[in-house]
Amino acid sequence: MTAPTLTVGPDGLIAAGPVAALLADVPRLVILAATAAERRRAAAIGKRALREWDAYLRGDLRCWSVPVAPQGTAFQQAVWAAIARIPYAQVMTYGALAAAIGRPRACRAVAAACGRNPIPIRIPCHRVVAADGPGGYTGGLACKFRLWDIEGISRPR
C-alpha cells in the first residue's frame, strides 16, 4: 500500500491520499512552499491538519478548520465548495448537488468532479450518493462505508 500523505501549501491543504492508506496509517506531510515564511505557514497548517485528521477518524471532529487550496477547473472548484457545505453525517445526491451549483442537468459532470477531488475526506465526497444507491468513491465502497460508519450515516440495505 502506498504511504498516505497530506500535501500542504501556504494557503492550505492541496491534496491528500490515497484514501485507503489515510484510513489505515498516520499521513506524512509534504510541504510545497517557495520561501521560508511560506514553509512556516504551510507547516503550521500541516500540523493542524494532522491533528484534525486524527480527531475526525476517532469520531471527535465534525467541522474542519484547516483551509483547503485544491487545484482544479472553475466547475470542479464549484462542486468541491458545494460538497464542503454538506453537513456532517448527511448525504446529498449528485442531482441535488448539481442543482445546488446552478447546473441541474450536470449530474454526470458533478460525479466526475467528485472523482477528481484531490482532498477526499476533508472535502467530503463520501457524503455524495447516487439517486439509487451509494454511488462510487475514489477509495472504493469499503472506504466510503467506513467513513459513513465514523459519521453515523446508515448504509443502504
How close are the terminal C-alpha atoms of the chain, in Å? 30
Q: What CATH number corresponds to the domain at position 106?
A: 1.10.10.10
In a domain, 69, yes or no: no
Sort strands 12-17 and 28-31 into parallel, antiparallel or unpaired: unpaired
Q: Let me know whether 143 and 80 are in one domain.
A: yes
Find the catalytic residue in 63, 107, 114, 125: 125
- As to burial, measured by CB atoms within 10 angstroms (0-12 exposed, 13-18 middle, 19+ buried), residue 49 is buried
Model's pTM, two decimal places? 0.93
Q: 91 and 139 share a domain?
A: yes
- What is the pLDDT at residue 156? 75
Q: Which pLDDT belongs to residue 66?
A: 94
In a domain, 100, yes or no: yes
* Catalytic residue status for 125: yes
Could you give phi then psi for residue 13, rounded to 5 degrees? -70, 130
Q: How many helices (H) and strands (E) does the chain have?
A: 6, 5
* Ranges of the chain with pLDDT below 50: none
Residues 108 and 140 in one domain: yes
Q: Are residues 129 and 84 in the same domain?
A: yes
CA distance 79 to 91: 14
Domains of the chain: total: 2
Are 118 and 146 members of one domain? yes
